[in-house]
Amino acid sequence: MCGIVGFSGTREAAAVLIDGLRRLEYRGYDSAGIAVCDGERINVAKVKGYVKNLAEMTHDGADIRGFVGIGHTRWATHGAPNDVNAHPHLSSDGRFAVVHNGIIENYALLRQELTERGYKFLSDTDTEVVAHLLELYYAGDMKKAIMKTAARLEGSYSLGVVCLDGSGRLFAMREQSPLILGLGVGENYFASDVAALVPHTKNVIYLEDGEFAELTPEGMTVYDVTGHEVKKPVSRVAWDVEAAEKGGYEHFMLKEIMEQPACFKATVEPRIKNDRIVFEDFDLTDGELKSIDKIIITACGSAGYAGQVGRYVIEELCRVPVTVELASELRYRNPIIDEKTLLIVISQSGETADTIAALKECKSRGARVLAIVNVVGSTIAKLADHVIYTWAGPEIAVATTKGYTTQVAVLDMLAIYLADRLGRMDSVTYERLITALHDMPGKMQRAIDLNRNVKKLAKRLSHHNDIYFIGRNMDYAVCMEGALKLKEISYIFAEAYAAGELKHGTIALVEQGSLVVTLACYEPLFDKTMSNIEEVKARGAQVLAVAPEDNKKIVSKADDFLPVPRTEPIFTPLAQIIPLQLFAYYVAKERGCDIDKPKNLAKSVTVE
Ligand code: F6R
């Protein structure tokens, strides 16, 4: 949830750290801070609020001198978001400064023990115990102090430590929280995400749980939990720095909405070879495939809603039972899972704590795990038996858009692939769907072009304080994502209901002027959805319909209309979500919300 960054080089560290924090700010934005060692002392600057406040306070870092340092942007877990709880935290003797992403679960006990030993705590954070433990265990050997400290910590953490020793030494340690090392020329770095590293280097090392590293300007050494040196492979980051910048758009979210046709193409096209779908990391034998008797999809938030779309498509094409389970629930259930279960885990970040826990739980019960992940080298990608990456590039806006559509794209391809391998799809249908997949980037672009005036509509409808989304079958699955987009960035109460369920309770809420967004793209149930429109209109509701662009019937009934191009039916959600993303974006803008950084949220939920 928080973002951490570290730098060791021969130029001023503060500006590099602040730039890194800007690139990690999507991970948390309650407060920001840096600690830089100038050889004589560790200088700390930290402040409540955005990284821009820190930049202003330090004159873009010019006030804080030194060549080695660490930085942090926070999503508060322990202690209110204020200047004191902002990271970095110092040891009592000022020799160590620490930044942390994750949760130290046994911090209360450690705090009590350290207090009894005479250490004074300044903040309410769990992190401060780490700084004092380092001081307690330091007897001239930093490596030993790190190992002894790590042995006392329970929970999840990626930690950055700067130590006033020589001209300043930099350490990074990882346990169940992402941490990546960047190899530069005459300078080296660490960060929670490659986004902070790509302006400097594309050569990275992914730390594993239990490993820690010492970084100097000349190089870095990685150690395992017992202190033995580990030789790590160097990976190349596949994307450029521009991919993580706004590129002229006012918000990352808008840029990412517009990127969707290209991201779809990047995800789908390389996997169609000679008109056949090929998944290089999912090549089960026929026997293994046929032994699968059920599929469980698990994820959180939008990734789960992508899974809801996937459920309809996989069941329809493959005739294999599919359930979609919230990872936060699945992890604590006693699910019926065995070797015949295929678990599909979906995650943009690959670091979501609940999803990781559900994966581990199901794997321990024998499930074969296929992960659909965007971030290369992430924890979920490492834990799964097979990985299919979505090639969406870096997603910076907290509200996912291209992450979601590329997840749906992979699920669609997977459904076609499985149906074919299981002998449940004829060749004519297969060829038709492959052709339709090639057409989808154009259709998604048309969905964008058809809805360029959604801004005006959003302005007119932005005063609503509660908005209902209704639909049936795949339309209902898309309603869930449409409602989430709206609520998380505009703070309007928005909820999705299966249209057929309305009369079992929810319709009691509908009154004169209520706004009901009705998704009516799923053709086989169109007439039923039209009846639901009649029902809510009879109670005074205003209807915003999302339907095929040439559907005259709905235009005559609805008050407003968001058109969607016609596509092969199973691919419609990919086009249909686009006007809803744009609607949410412009409603939030109209209401003056901070679109890329919605309140209380953060991307990459690495804590439970
Ligand atoms: C909503 C959103 C979240 C994420 C969820 C899972 O716009 O972004 O609901 O979808 O937190 O995150 P990942 O996909 O990283 O596991």
pLDDT tens-digit map of 432-451: 999 999 999 999 999 999 99
Query: Is it the case that residue 242 has pLDDT exceeding 90?
Result: no
pLDDT for 603 equals 79
pLDDT tens-digit map of 399-423: 999 999 999 999 999 999 999 999 9
Ligand 1 pocket test target in 605, 606, 607, 608 with most atoms within 8 Å of CB: 605
User: What is the CA(548)–ligand 1 centre distance, in A?
Assistant: 28
pLDDT for 439 equals 97
pLDDT for 240 equals 84
- Where residue 608 falls among pLDDT bands split at 50, 70, 90? confident
Query: Is it the case that residue 604 has pLDDT exceeding 80?
Result: no
Specify whether 362 is catalytic: no
Edge-to-edge strands, sheet with 180-183: 42-48, 31-37, 68-74, 3-8, 188-191, 180-183, 203-206, 235-236
Catalytic entry in 2, 263, 300, 318: 2
pLDDT for 466 equals 94
Of how many residues is the chain composed? 608
The total of other beta-carbon atoms located within 10 Å of residue 364's CB is 9
- Where residue 239 falls among pLDDT bands split at 50, 70, 90? confident
Name which of 265-274, 284-293, 485-494 the model is least confident about: 284-293
Cross-strand pairs, 205: 181
Query: Is it the case that residue 565 has pLDDT exceeding 90?
Result: yes
User: What is the CA(299)–ligand 1 centre distance, in A?
Assistant: 8
Ligand 1 pocket test target in 256, 300, 389 with most atoms within 8 Å of CB: 300
Query: Is it the case that residue 1 has pLDDT exceeding 80?
Result: no
DSSP H or E segment with residue 116? helix 107-116
pLDDT for 202 equals 95
Closest atom of ligand 1 to 355 CA is 16
Which of the two residues, 475 and 244, has the higher pLDDT score? 475
User: What is the CA(349)–ligand 1 centre distance, in A?
Assistant: 8
pLDDT for 467 equals 97
Mean pLDDT of 32-37: 97
Query: Is it the case that residue 312 has pLDDT exceeding 90?
Result: yes
Query: Is it the case that residue 425 has pLDDT exceeding 90?
Result: yes
How far apart CA 500 and CA 472 sit, in angstroms, is: 7
Mean pLDDT of 456-477: 97
Do 49 and 82 meet the contact criterion of CB atoms below 8 Å apart?
no
The total of other beta-carbon atoms located within 10 Å of residue 505's CB is 9
CB within 6 Å of ligand 1 — which residues?
A: 300-303, 347-349, 352, 355, 399-400, 484, 488, 604-605
Residue whose CA lies nearest to ligand 1 atom number 5: 301
Mean pLDDT of 500-524: 95
Domains of the chain: 3-244 (3.60.20.10), 252-449 (3.40.50.10490), 454-590 (3.40.50.10490)
Query: Is it the case that residue 291 has pLDDT exceeding 90?
Result: yes
Query: Is it the case that residue 281 has pLDDT exceeding 90?
Result: no
Residue whose CA lies nearest to ligand 1 atom number 3: 301
568 Cβ neighbours under 8 A, 6+ residues apart: 432, 433, 436, 439
Specify whether 2 is catalytic: yes
How far apart CA 289 and CA 322 sit, in angstroms, is: 15
